Every structure is written in C-alpha cells, then in structure tokens.
Amino acid sequence: EDQVTQSPEALRLQEGESSSLNCSYTVSGLRGLFWYRQDPGKGPEFLFTLYSAGEEKEKERLKATLTKKESFLHITAPKPEDSATYLCAVQAKRAGDYKLSFGAGTTVTVRA
C-alpha cells in the first residue's frame, strides 16, 4: 500500500522567514510525485510534478526537490499570500492505475 507522510502538520512563519516542508513516501515504483496547494473551501491547485530522484522544480518562491524516499517543498521569503495547506501525493507505476495517494498536508500560516 502506498503511504505518504507529511511534516510538520502546521507551520507558522513570519513574512520573509524561509522554511521547508517534508513529504516522505513509500510506493512500489514511483511514476510521479505531485505537490498541490489548497486554500480553505477550495479544491487543490497543482504546483509541481517530480518524476525522478535529483529533480528540482521552481515557481516563484517555491522550490520542490525529490530523493528516492522523500520530497521537500522549500518556501523562500514567504508572503502572507503563501498561507495555505500544501499537499503531497504520489502516483505509483502500476499498469492502468493512475490514482493519487495523498498525505495529510502541511498548513502554512505566514504572518505579516
């Protein structure tokens, strides 16, 4: 069974205070690891896909990295608008199976 564990559960940051979120995963062959952002009462918004260890993706203040066992989402100099719940999900490399297994998320609050 695929497992995704995110830490910490919650993160409170001062504006400009950089930090990292962790996503540890266990999957029988990784097809892809996905990061999403979810605002309250909304559906998840796609951020990044990572496919192989060593890969990195960047978007504005966010940078995602991938190893064989975990992924990190780095938030550099966050702003209040970066406050959200960040979800990590894995897709296993199983024939005909494209479902995502999600972690519980990290809720980030950035104070001005």
Partner 1 sequence: GAVVSQHPSWVICKSGTSVKIECRSLDFQATTMFWYRQFPKQSLMLMATSNEGSKATYEQGVEKDKFLINHASLTLSTLTVTSAHPEDSSFYICSAPQGANDQPQHFGDGTRLSIL
Binding site for partner 1 (CB under 8 A): 31-32, 34, 36, 41-46, 49, 87, 91, 98-105
As a whole number of angstroms, the distance between CA 82 and CA 64 comes to 15
Rounded to a whole number of angstroms, the minimum distance from the CB of residue 16 to partner 1 is 27
The least CB distance from residue 95 to partner 1, in Å, is: 11
Work out how close the CB of 24 gets to partner 1 at its nearest, in angstroms, rounded to a whole number.
14
Neighbours of 107 (CB within 10 A): 16
Cβ distance to partner 1 smaller for residue 14 or 98: 98
**In 3D, which of 46, 86, 77, 53 has the Cα closest to residue 67?**
53
